[in-house]
Structure 1
Amino acid sequence: MVDALLLLAGCGTTRRSADIDHGHRLATVMGCTSCHGAKLDGHLFEEDPQFALAWSSNLSRILPRWSDRQIEQVLRSGRRPDGSALWFMPTFAQRQLSGDDLRDLIAWLRTVPPSGTDHPPIRRGPMFAVAMEHGFQDSAAQAEQLKARQPVVLDDRFRQGRYLATIACAECHGPELSGPRDPRPGDPPDLSIAAAYTPGEFAHLLTTGINRNGQPAGDMAQEARKRLSSLTRQEMAAIQAYLVARAAAPGNGATPRVQ
């Protein structure tokens, strides 16, 4: 049933009621629970005094203060209801959520009881300003800058795969799924690499983080187990089908590389 729900979510089909279990799975796949914790109580995730001390927000305590509409606006804009900008949130990817999927996500968020304490705002170190001078942005500014950059649009056969790749993969692999424009060793690659995998190898990669050569695939070694393993096999197949077609699309400029 969940497979069908996510398939419909990317195609604009309206459901009559929210699916809490599906919302929980979305929170896992998109990384909400990785960053904010299973209880959504947040934690210290950046601990470099020269750059910043940054906590992921305790959503379990914050979200009860916000309406559903405010939560939606935060996820789509990268700004809190008071207008202040978020930091470190992949708003450029999350804002692509369909209305039905967003409703399911909010429905699940509403089931999480408050726990823990509120965390302090970012404590910026001297290198934070330096990073901003070199292009580091808050979530709202980043989303605005990247809004014109989207994964290649193909025909309707690949619509679900493109949608899933956007909300599940773009945070690490970039808004066009092409990796960094000036990649360094170890950076997330262009997802044209999916064309070098068999369907079984690709599913194994997304489930375990182990590449087709039997080696841990960089950050995927963690992200696959924490997040992407919650995708169904049908969803994994849809993502790969889109990525393979994208790699072969005229003018795409992507060259498959094995990872």
Structure 2
Amino acid sequence: MKLIKRTLLGLIALVVLLVAVVYGVSESRLRRTYAVAGATHLRVTTEPAQVARGRHLVTAVAKCVDCHEQDMGGKTFIDAGPLGTIYASNVTAGQGGVLAVYTDAQLEAAIRHGVRPNGRGLFIMPSDEYQNLSDDDVSAVIAYLRTLSPVDRRHGTSHLGPLGRALYTAGKLPLVPAERIDHARTGARSAPPVGATREYGQYLVSVGGCRGCHGPNLVGGPSPEPGAPPAANITPAGPIGQWTEAQFFTAIRTGTRPDGSKILEFMPWKSMARHTDDELRAIWLYLQTVPPVQSAKT
């Protein structure tokens, strides 16, 4: 009995120590601050053309509305008990919103760097992709956000539960994109001309979150979003390699694959459906040229 008691006490002590280590390591990382090089190439105006471009980027290309809601008032993004609770911010000037207090430079830091005004990293903000947005497009996004009607919607404070902290500490939960971004990067950032070209398609894929779900090589695999199904292989080695351009258009516009099966809404096809024909054709042209890579699950 004494041996069992000592063993149990030892196990309890080990668990307590492990919990303390996980909490300490995760808290240290979450409290880290990042110095962001100032954006010197933004030109935010009230010009109708720029605002219209920003609206298209927010609703279709960057798909901001999928996380922040159509009115950009934010929502509960993840509520998963021991994993934690994460809120998508209210990005308007209403009560609970950030727009009235964020400067244009702070909005750029949040978008491209995933960094709050206090220097800490934002949770799950897809800045890994948004860092590739051109100066003109970031300016257009900010210009559009400045025109939004205020939404009065307050949210709680995002937090990680014990399981979330354990996964984050173990590198299994890519929670803070600011950890993976070069914040010292300076210089003007441009994009290829808008049009039905492979080059513009590569840009759209790079800033539209495709790589965030389908992986850097677009080969698919486990989704970074808890609870989401595995992402498909969208290289020519995957099922999409057997599609025609017309079938690709239909899949994006209607959420229906060539075999008649429905695309789950974890794939943001409803936002992608807002792309112009030239944009979808550009994406299609680019996907035809990426290296075909076999994956365990396509």
TM class by smaller structure: 0.7 to 0.9
Q: Output aligned runs, 1:39-188, within 5 Å.
A: 39-60=71-92, 61-135=97-171, 136=173, 137-143=175-181, 158-168=198-208, 169-180=210-221, 186-188=229-231
Deviation at 1:173, TM superposition (A): 1.4
The separation in 1 between residues aligned to 2:102 and 2:53, in whole angstroms, is 21
Q: 1:218 to 1:182 in 2, by over 3 A?
A: closer
Q: Structure 2: how far apart are the matches of 1:15 and 1:74?
A: 16
State how many pairs are aligned: 228
Where in structure 2 are the equivalents of 1:196-215 lying within 5 Å? 196-215=242-261
Q: Greater share of helix residues, 1 or 2?
A: 1
1:112 and 1:54 mapped to 2: Cα distance? 23
Identity of aligned residues (%): 26
Q: What residue number does 1:190 align with?
A: 233
Deviation for aligned residue 1:23? 0.9
CA gap 1:211/1:179 in 2 versus in 1, 3 angstroms: same
Residue in 2 that maps onto 1:27: 58
Contact conserved, 1:196 with 1:258, CA < 8 A, in 2? no
- Is contact 1:93–1:175 with CA below 8 Å preserved after alignment? no
Which residue is 1:37 aligned to?
69
Residue in structure 2 matched with residue 223 of structure 1 by the alignment? 268
Q: Summarize deviations over 1:94-150 as a string: whole Å, max 9, x none.
A: 111111111111111001122223322213211111111231231211445xx9xxx
Q: Verify the 8 A CA contact 1:195 1:256 in the aligned structure 2.
A: no
TM-score by length of 2: 0.69
Of the structure 1 ranges 191-200 and 23-32, higher mean CA displacement relative to structure 2 is found in: 191-200
CA distance in 2 between counterparts of 1:116 and 1:86 reads 21
Task: Specify the structure having the higher radius of gyration (Cα).
Answer: 2
Shift of 1:75: 1.2
Instruction: Give ranges in structure 1 of 5+ residues lacking alignment.
Output: 1-13, 148-156, 247-251
Q: 1:237 aligns with which of 277, 281, 291?
A: 281
User: TM (normalized to structure 1)?
Assistant: 0.78
Take 1:130 and 1:15, find their aligned partners in 2: how far apart are those partners? 41
Listed as ranges, the gaps of 5+ residues in structure 2 are 1-42, 186-196
Amino acid at match of 1:115: V
**C-alpha displacement of 1:182:** 9.7
Contact 1:196-1:256 within 8 A present in 2 as well: no
**What SS does structure 1 have at the residue aligned with 2:157?**
coil
Q: CA RMSD of the aligned region, Å?
A: 3.0
